[in-house]
Each structure stands twice: as C-alpha cells, then as structure tokens.
Structure 1
Amino acid sequence: MSDFTIRNMHPSELCLALDWAQREGWNPGLHDAACFYAADPRGFFIGLEDDKPVGCISAVRYGEDFGFLGLYIVDPARRGCGYGERLAAAGMDYLAGRTMGLDGVVAQQENYRQAGFGLAHRNMRYLGLTGQGTAGAQDTHAVVPLSWVPFAEVATYDHQLFPAPHEHFLHAWISQPDSVALGAVENDELHGYGVMRTCREGYKIGPLFADDADLAERLFLALTASVPTGRPVYLDIPEVNPQAQKLVERHRMEMVFETARMYSGPPPQLPLERVFGITSFELG
C-alpha cells in the first residue's frame, strides 16, 4: 500500500507545482513562484506518494479573515486515489475560520458546490494578438511607470479591489522581472493600474484595475505598446463587468478558458465594475 503524506512546500517545489500548472494549460508567469511565495510562505502544500511528489494545493491567508485556494493539481496517473480530497482538506484546514475563495475549473465546480462553495460569478480568459485590435490614437498622458507612485498609494488603491491587504505579494508582483507596471494618475492621484508579465507563452495582463473604461483602455494600450506585433496577450476578466467585455471585443480577443469564482461564505463586496483584469486565478 502506498504511503501518502502532505507537508509544506519548499520554494523549489513551488516551481515544480507551476510546471504542473503549465502542463494543465494554465500558462503561469516566468516569475510567479517568487511572487506567490511572498504572499504566504506557509500556504503551499505538496502531496507525496512514497516520498514522490504527486499533487499540490495552495491555501494563502490574507489578513485576518480571508483566504484563497488554488494550484489544486494531482498527477493525472494518480487521480481517483483520494489524494485530491486529502489535499483539499489540508488547504481548507489551514484556512479554517476564514471566508475562502477559489477559481474553479469547469470539471471541479460541482465538487466545490458540494463542499460548501457558492458561485459568485464567472471569470473568462481572453487571448488576443498584439496589433490586431482597434487601438487608434489615444490620450495616454496620465499613464506613468507605477514605480513613480508611492507604494502606500498603490496598496491603498489595490485594497479597494481585493478583500484583504496583501502588501508582501503586491510589492513582489509590481516589481517582478520581465514585466511592465503602469499607473493612471490624474490630479496627483492614482485612478488605476495594470501589470503585464511575461509568461511561458506570451504575456498576461493582470491586474487591470481602473476607475472607468477610458482609463482601462489607456492602460491596456500602454501595457501592450512594447510587445512585438503578433504576440499572444491574455486577459482574465470578470464576466459581470460589461465594460471589460467591450474592451476584449474592441481588441478582437477570443475567450479560451473559464473559471467560476466561488466563496465558502458571502462573497466580498467589491466594485467589480473597476476590475478589467484579474491578477491571478491561483491567488485570487
């Protein structure tokens, strides 16, 4: 009989988990491991069969009351052995007493419902090729490098759009290598920001937060301006934001993947009309 154990990941094992995520078609960023680990070093678990890694899950704590489950993967050859259920239990135990969120792939959504998670909305991944949109001339005078904006101001803005503070992750995310981070500043105040990072295939924009659709468009164009024509760019949007839907349509992007944003309790009350791109399906 095989011996199955679960323990916290070492940092190098998080790189292995992201390799598995790539195998699943999730296309992680080149530097996601370091950013994810900064969020909660104790929140990543690996399952081992006879000391061989066969599964993983993340369960990241944010603040005092919120947590997010992700990176839920079991080796295809070992599925059906009950390992996934034990990994899920370990993650949920770590987040016990908190509202928990997750982005559930279609195949797992019924299992999450049975575990007590309710649907809040769908998130949709869109893919486009640079140079194929309807960009035209846009006023970009308010878009500046995000490093010009004091970090405390960025964190304050971000907290309006995320259920809990996550400064360690945020600092790592907006300053990661092979990325572009821009802010929309008007009257010396931040009114939106976006990050585009290099992924194993092309680029992903996330987050893309803005007070209105015009600023979101400005940020989108500025972020993609340095990408060579014809390269793939991904954007994950909440389906409930119609202006985000119009943005991806303007840029001739196609939906390629979807998840269900689900919560174990009442959904956080967030202004999703200002969320034009989600930071990460894995970390919420």
Structure 2
Amino acid sequence: MQEQRLTIKVMSKEEVNIAVEWAALEGWNPGLNDAHNYYQADPHGFLIGYLGDEAIATISVVKYDNDFAFLGFYIVKPEYRGKGYGMKIWQAGLNYLKNCNIALDGVLEQQDNYKKSGFKLAYSNIRFAGAGGGQLPNNDDIIELASLPFSAISDYEKPFFPAVRADFLRSWISQPNSQALGILDKGKLAGYGVIRACREGFKIGPLYANTPQLAESLFLALKASVPTDETIYLDVPNINQAAMALAQRYNMQPSFETARMYTQPSPTTPLSKVFGVTSFEIG
C-alpha cells in the first residue's frame, strides 16, 4: 500500500488554533489569546501538514522582515512521529525563511537536531513558576501602558527585538484577560510588562526594564494583579543574573528550560534589561 503524501499549506487563522491546542497537549501552556496574537505577526508564517483530511504536523516560521525570523510550534502528532513527516514540514518552513537569521526556543533534548540545520546555541531561558498575589507597590510611576501613545511603547521596544513588529505588539499589549503596565523614570518610559491568562495560571512576558529595581516594581505590580491562588510564570534568560535573582527572591521554582538558538550571529539585544521573554513561540 502506497504511503499517503503529506500536503503542506499555509494555515488559515482558524488553523492556528490547532497548533496552539497541540502545544497545550505538549505541556507548553499557551495563553488564551495566543492564536489571534501570533497570527498578527505574519499571516503567512504558519504551516500545517495534512495526510488526506487529517492534520498531523505544524510549524510556525514567522518572518518579521527579510532579515529576521522566529521558528516555533514544531509539532508532529505523536502517532505520526518517526516517519519523516516532521522533516518535510521543517524543510518547507526553512525554505520560506531563506537568508533570514532564524531564532528558536527549542527543548533541550532537540538541540543536536537543530544544530544539524545550522542553529547555534546562544543561551538558555528558564521558566520559573510561583504564586500570584501580593501587595501592589506604592509607586506613582507605574502606569497603565494604554495611557501612553503607541509610538512611545514601540520606540521603547525597538532595542529589545531585531525587527519591527507593530501589529503584533499592538495586539499583545491590548489582549483580553491581560494587564499591561509601564514604569516611568523622570517622566519617560523605562520599562513595561504584560501578564496574560494561560491555560493554567498567568504568564508575565515581556518584562523589560532599564534597571533591576524598576523590573522588580513592575514584577510586583503584575504579580499583584492576579489572585494569590493562581500560578504565575516568568521566562528568564539565564545570562541575566539580576533577572534570575528576581525570580528566586520571590520563591519561584524552575519548571522548564529552552535553548535559544540562531542560524546567524546573535542579535545585539540588551539582555541585561530583559527580565522576562515575550514568547517561546515567536520571540
């Protein structure tokens, strides 16, 4: 009997929900609005593989511009693994991203496979889990991010990401079931963070701040916005020692780790100011 051929196509917006659902089954705990938000980054950047009418493989290959892209959602349905379907959708994804510097946050055990495709390790990200709640800091410099012009937020984010992603950013900071806060220093934006509802608990990401003290104030304000019986998660670059110390200071425990890898030299982002990663799926 002839093996069915894998048909690969660009996902519709509705099909992105399949990738998010599979991510949940893998234990990645996606946000409640991730499918909508991620689609804003690149409507052409989500591929799905079908055998007949059955979806069996996904990958996201979000191309932010002609130079930088982020790969994620690389999932094959468990019963179809080890049959070469994953490699087919992987190659289709890389072909879409030709000539880009491609980033990914991969599970540690897959590092060697990614290296075969030219990815090199930059650092690790550690997911910390802890308790929500706590006292809201008495700090007049903490503001609702929506009270600022979008241009101020976009300008602040520019150094933190290798490409402009205005549509995604606009969607991310205004999503339902979330809170987005900024912190001012001498009247200027000096950090911001978003906390969003996930399948389980809440994730803080991004958490950017010019100093560890500002980051801690923002962290406490975001933490205080959810009930004490909820779990919060923070994804921390392990090379930011101040960020690692912040998570540990509030009794957060490591629960997951990814390898941040790039196909070209690592972008020059100010990792000392990155206290929480936006997303393991699209950067």
Length-normalised TM-score, structure 1: 0.97
Identity of aligned residues (%): 49
Residue aligned with 2:35, SS: helix
Q: 1:210 to 1:42 in 2, by over 3 A?
A: same
Q: 1:140: how far off?
A: 2.1
1:11 and 1:195 mapped to 2: Cα distance? 23
Q: 1:11: how far off?
A: 1.0
1:242 is matched with which residue? 241
2:106 is matched with which residue? 104
1:61 is matched with which residue? 63
Q: 1:86: how far off?
A: 1.0
2:227 and 2:242 mapped to 1: Cα distance? 26
1:69 and 1:18 mapped to 2: Cα distance? 14
1:128 is matched with which residue? 130
Worse-superposed segment, 165-174 or 59-68: 59-68
Whichever residue aligns with residue 269 of structure 1, its letter is T
Task: Report 1:78-117 matches (<5 A).
Answer: 78-117=80-119
Q: 1:167 to 1:137 in 2, by over 3 A?
A: closer
- 1:12 aligned to 11, 14, 17, which one? 14
Residue aligned with 2:14, SS: helix
Q: 1:138: how far off?
A: 4.3
Q: 1:149: how far off?
A: 1.1
1:204 is matched with which residue? 203
| 1:233 equivalent in alignment to 2:236 | no
Contact 1:22 / 1:28 at 8 angstroms: preserved in 2?
yes
1:171 is matched with which residue? 170
Q: 1:164: how far off?
A: 0.8
Residue aligned with 2:112, SS: helix
1:74 and 1:197 mapped to 2: Cα distance? 27
1:274 is matched with which residue? 273
Q: 1:16: how far off?
A: 1.2
2:34 is matched with which residue? 32
Whichever residue aligns with residue 6 of structure 1, its letter is I
Contact 2:137 / 2:221 at 8 angstroms: preserved in 1?
no
2:136 and 2:163 mapped to 1: Cα distance? 37
2:259 is matched with which residue? 260
Worse-superposed segment, 58-67 or 34-43: 58-67
Contact 1:139 / 1:218 at 8 angstroms: preserved in 2?
no
Shift >4 Å, 4+ stretches: 135-139
Q: 1:139: how far off?
A: 4.5
2:78 is matched with which residue? 76
1:36 and 1:62 mapped to 2: Cα distance? 12
Q: 1:63: how far off?
A: 2.5
Q: Structure 1: 5+ residue runs without aligned partners?
A: none
- 1:23 aligned to 10, 22, 25, which one? 25
| 1:159 equivalent in alignment to 2:158 | yes
1:191 and 1:198 mapped to 2: Cα distance? 24
2:54 is matched with which residue? 52
Residue aligned with 1:217, SS: helix
Whichever residue aligns with residue 273 of structure 1, its letter is S
Whichever residue aligns with residue 204 of structure 1, its letter is K
1:243 and 1:14 mapped to 2: Cα distance? 35
Q: 1:107: how far off?
A: 2.2
Q: 1:136: how far off?
A: 7.0
Whichever residue aligns with residue 7 of structure 1, its letter is K
Once the two structures are superposed, what CA deviation does each residue of 1:49-104 show, in whole Å capped at 9, x if it has no partner? 12310010000011231001001000010000111111111111111011110011
